[in-house]
Chains A and B, each alone.
Chain A
């Protein structure tokens, strides 16, 4: 099993540009999470999908952020327009089922730098 796959691993962009982060969850997992990690705020949940449907997007910072999950094997997180304060490591995680015992499997992350 390849695990959770994220691309790109690193992204450097200029303020105002659109950024799209991609995630392929583990096959068979039906829960998907997007997290943001910064030194100041730690690890924050941005959005949670179950069976491709957004269940909780209360962590999405503002309208500049949007996430989609068109099918069970692909999700995107888009920032438009990007700002320097969006610089962070963005993680995607997937989990089998919806039970609380289920472990979340994290991808390697995308390090985003907005200049």
Chain B
């Protein structure tokens, strides 16, 4: 079975500070990993995805994530937080070999303090 664990349901950072949102996965086969963002009253939007090519993945809005197999992690980072980054972020996993069933994490709400 596949799963993801997001550490910290709420994260607060100051504007301009580093953003680090943590995600650890569990999968019996090589995973495909995703980060989605949800702005208030909207659906989810893909930020970036790891599909077994480069381990460092760059996404939209200056976000990036690094796949670390030894740590079973796929943490999301951004060097400098902007007020517009305030949203909820979801880590998700698809295990290769199956159809497109995506397992989402519980989500992390990011607050950016001016």
Contacts and interface: CB of A to CB of B under 8 A. Distances in A.
A104 B102 contact: yes
A98 B98 CA distance: 10
B94 interface: yes
Contacts of B96: 100
A31 B100 contact: yes
B63 to A, nearest CB: 15
Given A42-B107, A43-B90, A103 B99 contact: no
Interface extent on B, as a size class?
20 to 34
Interface SS of chain B: loop
B100 A98 contact: yes
A34 interface: no
Interface in A91-112: 91, 93, 95, 98-104, 106-109
A107 B43 contact: yes
Interface of B: 32, 41-46, 49, 51, 90, 94, 96, 98-102, 104-107
